[in-house]
Amino acid sequence: MEETNMKKKNEVVLNKKPRWKLLHQYYNYTGFYRFVGNSVKKAILPIILFLAALFAINEYVININQVLVTVTETFSPIGILAFFLASESIFLGLVPPELFIAWAGKSAMPVIYLSLLALASYLGGIISYFMGKAITKIPAVHNYMETRMAKHIKNTEKWGGFLIVVGALLPIPFSITSVAAGIINYKFKYYLLFGLLRFIRFYGYALVIFKIV
């Protein structure tokens, strides 16, 4: 009897905890913070190396600014945006967005093209989401993708919207997270809402790294 009363008291105390505290405990217990920390650590080094390579090439090999200006004059913006859309969907984010952000900075309308890049990335995520849903209808492909993306699918099932938020804002593969969300049939309206944070990431990168905005 006494043990039952203690359990009830514990349940009352637990229920009185604010929602954010309960979520914090859950994410801490399931290893979400550790996952995000490790992912950011893995992503920061390639970004630093990419920026260092750009600086070195610009300093000792060829003027990157001039190359970007030449690209903007040679290739149509529609073609570049279409290629970026494919990169952010079909190729699962293979090409670093920073390269395209730098291109936007050398274009005639930096803010407009930066916004179009962010939109292309957002749309690429949506395409990836529906790729994930389509995969579930092809057993052989579904089994293959589940094997290749088992960790991401499991994490998306555990953390849902919060993982999509982190994927949109931080250097975690947004396209792969979107595919996983499609595979587990995550609610599309919430995916669309959380995915909008992708715009913040692009403007943030442009402001902090390339000083475009």
| % of the chain beyond a pLDDT of 70 | 77
Asked if 162 and 134 touch (Cβ cutoff 8 Å), the reply is: no
Task: Output the CA–CA distances (angstroms, integers) from residue 27 to 12, 133, 142, in the order listed.
Answer: 21, 26, 28
CB atoms within 10 A of CB 148: 11
Per-residue pLDDT for 1 more than 60? no
Q: Which residue has the higher pLDDT, 38 or 101?
A: 101
Q: Which residue range is the domain that position 135 belongs to? A: 35-208
The reply to whether 12 falls in a domain is no
Spatial distance between the Cα atoms of 107 and 109, rounded to a whole number of angstroms: 5
What's the pLDDT tens digit per position in 73-101?
788 899 999 999 999 998 888 788 888 88
Cα–chain-centroid distance for residue 3?
47
Answer whether residue 58 is part of any domain: yes
pLDDT tens digit sequence for 147-195: 777 777 877 778 878 888 888 888 777 888 898 889 888 999 999 999 9
**Residue with more model confidence, 212 or 116:** 116
Q: How many CB atoms lie within 10 A of CB 125?
A: 27
* Mean pLDDT, residues 45-51: 70
Assign 113 a pLDDT band (cuts: 50, 70, 90).
very high
**Is residue 52's pLDDT more than 70?**
yes
DSSP run (H or E) holding 158? helix 150-159
Number of domains observed in the structure of the chain: 1
With tokens 């982190």, the residue in question is: 166
CB 184 within 8 Å of CB 131: no
Torsion of CA 61, 64, 69, 72, to 10 degrees: 110
* Cβ–Cβ < 8 Å for 179, 149: yes
Q: Judge whether 48 lies within some domain.
A: yes
- 123-139: average pLDDT: 91
| Torsion sign over Cα 150, 90, 101, 111 | negative
Q: Are 205 and 97 in contact (CB under 8 A)?
A: yes
Q: How far apart are the first and last CA of the chain?
A: 65
Taking residue 167's Cβ as centre, other Cβ atoms within 10 Å add up to: 29
- What is the model's pLDDT at position 14? 47
